[in-house]
Amino acid sequence: MFVLWKGWSLHHGLSSSSAKRFGSPVRGGILVSRTSTTSPLHLQLQATLCWNSETLPVPALVDSGAEEYFLYSNLVQQLGIPSIPLDQPLIAQALNGVQLAQVTRKTSPIDLIIAGNHCEKVSFCVIDCSEPPVVLDYPWLTRHNPQLDWRKGENFVWSPNCHRSCLQSALTLAAVEAATPPDQVKLDSVPVQYHDLAPVFSKDRALSLPPRRSYDCAIELCQGATLSSSRLFNLSKPERTAIENYIHDSLAAGIIRPSSSPLGARFFFVDKKNKTLQPCIDFRGLNEITIKNSYPLPLINSAFSPLQGAQIFTKLDLRNAYHLIRIWEVDEWKTAFNTPLGHFEYLVMPFGLPNAPAVFQHLIDDVA
């Protein structure tokens, strides 16, 4: 049995008439025709292979001429993925009939994650070719029917079926509490009369999706404003690890979700004093077209005046304070941001919005 793989696409070497002459060389053959990866016309998506506890980010080539998934044999060995011998070997053959390689094994189903949150089980044909390491076939395109941005070379929006079955949805507060063991709070040094306040200091609750309130942050845009999207920042290896952790934790907590918004702010990191990385989103483009909230912020001098003569003080530090406020439901798409792992939007108020201080102060004034 033959497979057609590593051939030039119709745009590169074949007329429509010659394309009809080439097909599956034998009945039941598997077709895979792609462009060279050095060509600007190929489309690659960021993917992650998962087997047991091992994960490996890899580029995945989208090939509308392919009839099967392909995976580089070295990656199979690197992740320790078991493979099964084929009853009949497959011959990788170019469109011009040149035989390139032989496929004799297929992997056990493993997790394939696209753009950080689109997950499915896939069994790959194993092939000794490193470029590209992963090939996504035509049946993959028909199964998931993604809308692709061919100009930018990235996925734009998944099909409704993917939203029902493939996308890893953000968890609700109840789901997070059910899946996460309760905080181990040490109360030995806390007076007994304050033990009932332990849930107030729960990290899990602070990192979960808050309820909707009248204080939800609205993002009203100037009339006739032009929407824009930004390109990705280059990330170092530590930053790549940090963003993977941030996206994973934020999806699990339910404070972000996959987005199909036309907006997309840049995501990057800044160094904190304690040598850790602080995630930042460049909302300057959005902020320029946002109508500002004029709720008054307190004057520092006025805030300190009532404290004169006092000897005992209480300081409250709210964990991820802005994340305690939801974004108004119809405005969530405006907080979208781009990462190497995909396109996401906030369900809570992120740092960097011009109206965040005013909205937060309104909440504090009412509960103080």
Q: How many residues does the chain have?
A: 368
Residue 25 confidence (pLDDT): 35
**What does the pLDDT read at residue 103?**
86
Q: In this predicted structure, which of 40-49, 66-75, 76-85 has the lowest mean pLDDT?
A: 40-49
Q: What average pLDDT does the structure give for the chain?
A: 77
**Cβ 265 vs Cβ 344: under 8 Å:** no
pLDDT at residue 290, as a whole number:
95
Least confident of 21-35, 57-71, 188-202: 21-35
Per-residue pLDDT band for 357 (boundaries 50, 70, 90) equals: very high
In angstroms, how far apart are the furthest CA atoms of the chain? 93
What is the structure's pLDDT at 34? 38
pLDDT at residue 237 is higher than 50: yes
Residue 211's region, left for phi above 0, alpha for psi from -120 to 50, else beta, is: beta
Across 43-52, 149-158, 215-224, least confident range:
149-158
**Which of 7-11, 151-155, 316-320, 339-343 has the highest average model confidence (pLDDT)?**
339-343
**Can you give the pLDDT at residue 334?**
93
pLDDT one-digit tens code per residue, 117-142: 788 888 898 988 767 789 888 888 88
Q: Is 101 in a helix, a strand, or coil?
A: strand
Phi, psi (deg, nearest 5) at residue 293: -90, 125
DSSP string, 245-308: HHHHHHHHHTSEEE---S-BEEEEEEE-TTSPEEEEEE-HHHHHTBPPP-PPPPPHHHHHGGGT
Q: What are phi and psi of 178, to 5 degrees?
A: -75, -35
- Please say if the pLDDT value at position 43 is more than 80: no
The pLDDT assigned to 158 comes to: 73
CB proximity list for 215: less than 8 A, separation 6 or greater:
325, 359, 362, 363, 366
Q: Which of 64, 75, 90 is nearest to 11 (CA)?
A: 64
So what's the pLDDT on residue 93? Answer: 66
**pTM of the predicted model over 0.75:** no
pLDDT, tens digit (0-9, with 9 covering 90-100), for 275-300:
888 889 999 999 999 999 999 998 88
pLDDT above 70 covers a percentage of the chain that reads 76
The predicted model gives 139-156 an average pLDDT of 74
| Residue 214 pLDDT grade (very low, low, confident, very high; cuts 50, 70, 90) | confident
In sequence order, the 6+-apart residues with CB closer than 8 A to the CB of 337 are: 264, 265, 266, 267, 281, 343, 344, 345, 346
Question: In this structure, what DSSP letter does residue 168 have?
Answer: -
- Average confidence (pLDDT) over 65-77: 85
Least confident among 103-117, 155-169, 226-240, 301-315: 155-169
Per-residue pLDDT band at 4 (split at 50, 70, 90) = very low
| pLDDT of 180 over the 60 cut | no
Predicted pLDDT at 156: 56
- CB of 124 within 8 A of CB of 69? yes
Q: Which residues pair with 342 in a beta bridge?
A: 339
Asked if residues 120 and 137 have their Cβ atoms less than 8 Å apart, the reply is no
Dist. CA 252–CA 123, nearest whole Å: 27
- Structure confidence at residue 224 (pLDDT): 86
Structural domains for the chain: 2-165 (2.40.70.10), 173-367 (3.10.10.10)
